[in-house]
Amino acid sequence: MTIREELLSLLICPETGEALSGWDGTSAHGTLTTASGRSYPVTDGIPNLLPDVLRGSAADDTEASEKRSEMQARDAQVKSYDQMLGLKLFTHYEVPLTLKFLPLERSHLMLEGGCGTGRMTKTFAERTRGLLCVDFSRESLRVAKTKVPSSLTERVLFIQADLSRLPTKSEVFDRVGSFGVYEHIPTPEARDGALKHLARTCKSATSGGRMALSAYRWGPPVSWMSEREGHHPGGIYFIRLTQSELKAHCAPHFTVHGATESLLYYHLIWGQKENHG
Predicted pLDDT at 58: 62
Rounded to whole angstroms, how far apart are CA atoms 221 and 11? 42
Higher pLDDT, 31 or 81: 31
Residue 277 clears pLDDT 70, i.e. is over it: no
pLDDT per position as a tens digit, 33-92: 999 999 999 999 999 999 999 987 666 688 999 999 999 999 999 888 777 767 778 888
pLDDT per position as a tens digit, 138-177: 999 999 999 999 999 999 999 999 999 999 999 999 999 9
Residue type, 153: T
Rounded to whole angstroms, how far apart are CA atoms 116 and 82? 10
pLDDT per position as a tens digit, 84-117: 767 778 888 999 999 999 999 999 999 999 999 9
Angle at 70 between CA 64 and CA 76, to 5 degrees: 140
Q: What is the largest CA-CA distance in the chain?
A: 54
Predicted pLDDT at 276: 44
List, edge to edge, every strand of the sheet that includes 266-272.
Answer: 156-160, 130-135, 109-113, 175-179, 210-216, 266-272, 255-260
CA distances from 83 to 79, 142, 170 (A): 7, 16, 36
pTM, entire model: 0.96
